[in-house]
Amino acid sequence: MDEIIATSTDIETQVDCILIGHNWKIVAANRHTFGIEITEENSKRPVKYDYIEHAERNAIFRAARLGHRTLGATMIMKKFPCVECARAIVQSGIGTLCHGSTKGFSEERYRFEKSREILNAGDVVLIESES
């Protein structure tokens, strides 16, 4: 996963994500990126939040663009998704999320407890990693 993070255009926040399909093959892998050409002043907090796409949604969008099913897929990431990404995970039908900790990220900004509530309501199996 470190190779994926190395290609992130968001140097302040390093998050990556892998999406595994039914046949246990990687159908998409992605990281935090700016979806458009970005000026240096727009790449800094707090302005960057209007331009950045999170790794989870990037992986889901890439799978869709490539024609891969996400229903029942497994998502693997080192961190935990924000509320917006949790909704995308549920809506895309991902069945299992293997995730890491929320350490180093703001609960107030990312609302991880609400994310967990959304994922549980969407019947996403949550598997927490020790690392």
The second-level CATH assignment, the architecture, of 2-128 is 3-Layer(aba) Sandwich (3.40)
- List per-residue pLDDT tens for the chain, 131 residues long: 444 434 444 445 555 788 898 888 887 876 656 665 666 666 666 656 666 778 899 899 889 989 999 999 999 988 899 999 999 999 999 999 999 887 776 777 778 899 999 999 999 999 998 75
Question: Is 98 within 8 Å of 130 (Cβ atoms)?
Answer: no
| Separation CA 43–CA 124 (nearest Å) | 32
50 sits in the region (left: phi over 0; alpha: psi -120 to 50; else beta) called: alpha
Q: Parse the chain into domains and list their residue ranges.
A: 2-128
